[in-house]
Every structure is written in structure tokens, then in C-alpha cells.
Amino acid sequence: MTTADAQRALDRTDPEGEIAKAALRNRNWGRWGDDDVRGTMNYLTDDLRTAAASLIVKGASFSLSQSFDMDGPQKGWRRRTNPVHTMLDTGTDAVTGIQGFPHGIGGADDVVSMPLQCSTQWDGLGHIFDHGMAWNGRPAEKVVTSLGDGVTGIETVANGIVGRGVLLDVGRQFGENGELPDGFAITTEHLTATIAAQGHTSEVRSGDMVLVRTGQLSRTRREGWGDYAGGAAPGLSFTTADWLHDSQIAAIATDTWGFEVRPNEFDVAFQPLHQVAIPNIGLFLGEMWDLDALGDDCAADGIYEFFLTAAPIPVTGAVGAPVNPIAVK
């Protein structure tokens, strides 16, 4: 059965049943032991990190992060706001002498207040539950409490998200002027066709970090944020759950707010692919990554693999965290 057939075969009136079947088929609970807290990051081994270093040839580096400021996309939904940056000490304070430092020294200090998932970020393994169960079959209430994620907090992978990155520029392959329309469901066929069109450097291997460019961020730069944060968007089809599991990738990220296609592919649903990917596969999802400059460079030289470092800020107990990913070619 092709993915297109699988899409047609989805019972759009029964998200509960379809999610349960996909979760059972792709569940990795116990794969790395009952005490595992790293999920698919276990695929990203020391040997793979060493090999990824050889991908640096010309030294060109790309920040894949959006900005962290008040001009971001957030509108307050789920109490997510844009970052608030406040100065604690300024040059004015130094010049007027109110800082009280000796021999003419002055300085500036600042503070940022923000939700941890307001801009470019990783979803951690404690971010989503499936019927009250967290990653590796743990009861959600035993994992995340008012004190934070005491088991799979984002700090548990702060040292290891470094390795081979692969860009699948689906927007460039299937979109108009490099941009997929909102509501476009990226199937396994779209992914494999993109790999074939881009060539051997975009072959997806075990332990890879896969970046999927849809082009939605390009459109928002031109037209304004609109409903980028939570509205309609291109994204991964629910039917890619098996590919996400079987490919044994360490992580996957997109240039959209929610990773998967929106509206979702059921009559009544909210992020059903998240429900399979995070608590069942143990997969790390990146959202709101800026893949445009990297995409242009990959298209220019025909090389879609690169060294990628994407360590989250290790906020103890966080279920997601900001990141400034750097791709180096």
C-alpha cells in the first residue's frame, strides 16, 4: 500500500483508532531499556558524530534559528507569548554614575522572559502524552509535575545533539516558487521523491537529524506572521509515522510552528502525529527552524548533508527548550 493509499484508507472519523494503531506499530518502549530517557537520540552514536565532522569542507555556517524578540509570531495561545527583553543596566546608567562601580568602569545587563517554545526549539520527550502515558511507558504524572520533567527533562540530551544533518527541501521540489501551500500534507512519497531528486547526499541514514523545509517561513517573511503560530500550515502527514520510526532518525525539524500538517487529517484532532512520535517512538521534534539560507546554499552546490549542532538550552526539567542550530558545510 502506498502512502497515498494509506491516506485514503485513514478513517478520518476515528482519530482514536488510527492513532492507537500507528502507536502500537511504531512503539519503541523498552528498545533501549526500561530506564531510557534519550529515545531516538540513542541512534546518534559517537561514531556517527565523528563521521559527521568530515562533512565540513568549505566552512560555510548557517544559523537555523529565528529571532527571539517581541516581533515574533506568538499570539498568547496556550499562554505562549513572544520574548520580553528588559535591560537591567544600561549605558545611560553607567554615564550618569548610578551603578556605583569604581575607577570609571560601567556595564550593561539584561534579562529575557519567555515561554521555552516561543521560537526555534526542540520538543522534549516530556512534552506530549498518549492516554496518560509518557515516553517509554511511564505514567505522565510520574514524569512531569509542577516541579518540571523529573525524568526526561531536556537537559538529558543537552550533550548529544550533534551529528549529520540532512535537508529535504520538499518546498523546492513540490511547491510553487519553493513554497508549499497551507494544508499540504507531506507524505512518505514526497520525502522519498525529494531524496531522489536531490541526490545521494540527501540519503537518510540511521542517527541522522532530518530537516524538512516547507517554505512557509519564506511566505510569512513576505506577508507577515498571520496565523503562523497555530494556524493552517504545510507539514508532515500522519501517514509518515511508519517512515519516522523505520528510518531510525535521531530527530526531525521543520520551518513551521507545529511540524505536522494543519488542519490535521482527521475530522476532530489535535496534533495526532505528535501523539505517536514523541511518547511512542521517542522522537525529538524541532519546530520554527529557519531553513531558507541553508536551502539556497544546498540548491546551489547540490550538497544536502552537513555537520549540525543543535544543543538545547539545558533548562533543568524543561519539556522543550530554545536552540540556535548551526549547520556547517
In this predicted structure, the answer to whether residue 104 has a pLDDT above a threshold of 90 is yes
Judged against a pLDDT cut of 70, whether residue 244 lies above it is answered with yes
Parallel/antiparallel/unpaired status of strands 305-309 and 162-168: antiparallel
3-state secondary structure of 41: helix
pLDDT of residue 203: 98
pLDDT greater than 90 at residue 200: yes
Statement: residue 127 has pLDDT above 90: yes
CA–CA dist 121, 63 (Å, integer): 13
CA distance 229 to 73: 6
Average pLDDT over residues 160-165: 96
Nearest Cα neighbor of 136 from 209, 271, 249, 38 is 38
pTM of the model: 0.95
What rounded mean pLDDT belongs to the chain? 96
**What pLDDT sits at residue 5?**
57
Average pLDDT over residues 22-37: 98
Which residue shows C-alpha cell 529571532?
67
**Is a pLDDT exceeding 80 seen at residue 169?**
yes
Instruction: Report which DSSP code applies to 30.
Output: T
What is d(CA 56, CA 325) in angstroms, rounded to the nearest whole number? 15
Using the predicted structure, report yes or no on whether residue 1 has a pLDDT greater than 80: no
| Stretch 51-60: mean pLDDT | 97
What is the longest distance spanned by two Cα atoms in the chain? 76
Question: In this structure, are residues 123 and 275 in contact, taking their beta carbons and an 8 Å threshold?
Answer: no
d(CA 203, CA 192) in angstroms, rounded, equals 9
pLDDT of residue 8: 60
What integer is the mean pLDDT of 206-219?
98
Element (H, E) at 194: helix 188-198
Closest to 66 in 3D by CA, of 120, 116, 121, 122: 120
Catalogue all structural domains in the chain, each as residue range(s) with its CATH number: 3-76+115-328 (3.50.30.50), 84-113 (no CATH)
Q: Is the pLDDT of residue 321 over 70?
A: yes
Q: What span, in angstroms and rounded, lies between the C-alpha atoms of 63 and 71? A: 19
The grid cell for 197 is 531528486
Q: How many CB atoms lie within 10 A of CB 138?
A: 20
